[in-house]
Structure 1
Amino acid sequence: MDKDLLVDAVLASGVVLPAPGPGFLRLRAVAADDDAGPREMAQAVSQDPAITGALLRVANSPVFRPRSAPRSAQDAIAMLGRTRTLATAASVALKAQSDGLDPRVVDAIWSGCARAAEYSFAVARATRFKSLADTAYLAALMQDAGIAVVLRRSPQHAALLIGDGPTLEAGARALDALSGTDHAAAGYLVARNWKLPVEVCEAIRAHHDPKLSRRLGDEARRLARLLAAGRRVRDGVSPDWVDWADDVAGEFGLGEADLDELAADAR
């Protein structure tokens, strides 16, 4: 991936990669310690009310069906686990660096990613690759981080990104064309810079490129296809989905009727 010419071009285009916030850095350092548990991770974010609040909101969301409502960051982390906790913290840290962008655009980007993350998680749980569900949630939540990065360089195109899932995807393609860059490559650079798992970085890089996904290792390839399936559940049959349908069906045995059923369950 380091030799990807498009990634090199994005770097050369002048985009500025956001730096991880202190709350996320503390959490990531603690999460890397196998001996650390929810208590230590909660302590790492205790001084970051935005991350703490987000963890509680996500842990109480219907998609995770908590048996009892988590009442503290420690409870939320215990329910979400390391990967989804890191995913939530990363999205909050990135969203906090959107100063100067239209709030409606920021909300559209991250709301769309949050819904896609829930659906990619649900799709993974419906396959024999259930162990990828948490990692798929992380990759899906971060898949469009590059949009915000590109917009900071080309804010005149922000109006393209106001809308729901299908509109967001169409706007992202238009943004890439008008700005002469690539939000998937920019998102890959953000994920790599924030030291997310390699497979997550590669899936983000390929999340709009099924041909590229076929050249990835098994886990990264499956993650890229889970991201596509999550967007399909979110958006229905869109232009983004058409080129992924056969790959997703071949990898997971999920046809259109299965994905429609998952969409109905989500609604």
Structure 2
Amino acid sequence: MTGVSLAEAAKALGEEEGRKFRRLMERGVKIPPQPRVLEELRQCIRRKEQDVRVLARVINQDPGATAMLFKVVTNAAYAQHQPFDSVEQILHAVGIRQTVNLMQAIVLAGLVKVDKNQAAYEAFWARSQAVAQIAMLIADDRVAVCNIFPDQAYLAGIFHDCGVLLLLQRFPAYCAEMHLGEPGRWVDLDEEDRKFSADHSVVGYIVSRYWRLPEFICDAIRLHHHITEMGDHEARSMIAILQLAIEIYYRDQHVPNPEWARIKDEVMPELGLGDDTLPEFVDIVIERFHASQH
């Protein structure tokens, strides 16, 4: 159950994007519904429930998501609150709305399954989780500059490429055609459009709207490859965090990022970084990222 229909979610798309999305739906691309635990949490938010015991009982209904929540909050962005011994403690320390944001990202990761191309599926989630965790650290450090918080960055990090997963789920040839099994390779937008008449950013945007994510996060998901075309858009800082997180992920993997040269002059000033400060910043984030993985 959701509070917005697919038709409503697609309203903000332009004519061409809307036509592509409708065609993808006709070809069998399925948008995953929100699971019950999220709808119950959303109802709690709507009625302004402040009793963390009630909220913890809702979250604990999903043992897998609960276990993942504990793993996510070991991120160094929440170092001052660790260790966490209960969901109630997480809700107190991280915040109710922030914990719900983390849960939205976590349950998506367990919802979409791919029968074929299992190695690519696992690699996709490993990349998404790493980018999301790195984005949390960037947001934590740069919050005074861009007013983006770790839970929001994690949410965007998990959702920003979820359209890739849905296309991979639907089209068996997508993995090979997009070279997803090759180290350092990711989806080329022009090639994706030419071969599948699809845009994974648009699919991800529809999922995020359907799941009622904050509007600026939905916009960042839709436009995360287009920061150079954006003016003073409220999603711009989120895109900058995502793109720097992707660049740091690539550096940590010791593979080149094909997009970085084109976008770095837009990303760094948005986050208050320059050529002189970026290397040290990257080293600190990578160190904090690895420290939270153990």
The TM-score bracket by the shorter chain reads 0.7 to 0.9
Equivalence for 2:23: 12
Contact 1:46/1:52 (<8 A) preserved = yes
- Give the drift of 1:163: 6.0
Alignment equivalent of 1:188, drawn from 188, 202, 205: 205
Does structure 1 residue 39 correspond to structure 2 residue 53?
yes
RCO comparison, higher one (Cα < 8 Å, 6+): 2
Q: Which moved more, 1:8-17 or 1:223-232?
A: 8-17
Query: 1:107 aligns to what?
Result: 122
Cα separation, partners in 2 of 1:47 and 1:192, compared to 1, 3 Å: same
The structure with the largest helix share of the pair is 1
Structure 1 94/171 Cα, relative in aligned 2: closer, same or farther at 3 Å? farther
1:156 is aligned to 2:166: no
What is the TM-score with the length of structure 1 in the denominator?
Answer: 0.85
Matches within 5 A, 1:199-218: 199-212=216-229, 214-215=230-231, 217=233
Kindly tell me: are residues 184 and 40 of structure 1, through their superposed partners in 2, closer, same or farther at Cα, counting changes over 3 Å?
same
Q: Are residues 82 and 109 of structure 1, via their aligned partners in 2, closer, same or farther at CA, if it must alter by over 3 Å?
A: farther
Question: How far apart are 1:172 and its partner, in Å?
Answer: 7.5
Q: 1:138 to 1:252 in 2, by over 3 A?
A: same
Counterpart-to-counterpart distance in 2, 1:174 and 1:78: 46
Alpha-carbon shift at residue 33 of structure 1 (Å)? 4.3
- Asked if the contact 2:114/2:121 (under 8 Å) is kept, the reply is no
Matches within 5 A, 1:68-107: 68-95=82-109, 96-107=111-122
Q: Which residue among 142, 150, 154 is the counterpart of 2:159?
A: 142
User: Which residue pairs with 2:12 in the alignment?
Assistant: 2
> Counterpart of 2:292?
none
Q: CA deviation at 1:149?
A: 1.2
Contact 2:135 2:153 in 1 (8 A): yes
- Aligned counterpart, 2:145: 129
Do the aligned partners of 2:134 and 2:245 also contact (CA within 8 Å) in 1? Answer: yes
Structure 1: distance between partners of 2:209 and 2:57:
25
Scaled by the length of structure 2, the TM-score of the pair is: 0.78
Alpha-carbon separation, structure 1, partners of 2:117 and 2:181: 9
SS of 2:148 mapped into structure 1: helix
Where do 5+ consecutive residues of structure 1 fail to align?
none
CA contact (8 A) 2:146 2:270 kept: no
Counterpart CA distance in 2 for 1:20 and 1:2 is 21
Gaps of 5+ in 2: 1-10, 288-294
Q: Does the aligned pair in 1 maintain the 2:112–2:166 contact within 8 Å?
A: no
* Greater Cα offset, 29-38 or 244-253: 29-38
Q: Could you tell me whether the CA contact under 8 Å between 1:7 and 1:186 is conserved in 2?
A: no
Q: Secondary structure at the match of 2:37?
A: helix
CA distance in 2, matches of 1:172, 1:109: 17
- RMSD across aligned C-alpha pairs, in angstroms? 2.6
Instruction: Give me the whole-angstrom Cα distance separating, in 2, the residues matched to 1:173 and 1:37.
Output: 49
**Post-superposition CA distance 1:40-67 (Å, at most 9, x none):** 3212222111111111111224453254
Contact 1:108 1:163 in 2 (8 A): no
Per-residue deviation, 1:189 = 0.5
Q: Secondary structure at the match of 2:95?
A: helix
Q: Take 2:43 and 2:213, find their aligned partners in 1: how far apart are those partners?
A: 12
Q: Percent identity?
A: 23
1:229–1:34 distance in 2 versus 1, CA, 3 Å: farther
Deviations 1:169-227 (A, max 9, x none): 34787555532211111100000000111101000001111244x1463x212111111
Residues 105, 154 of structure 2: 8 Å contact kept: no
1:255 paired with 2:269, answer: no
SS in 1 for 2:277: helix
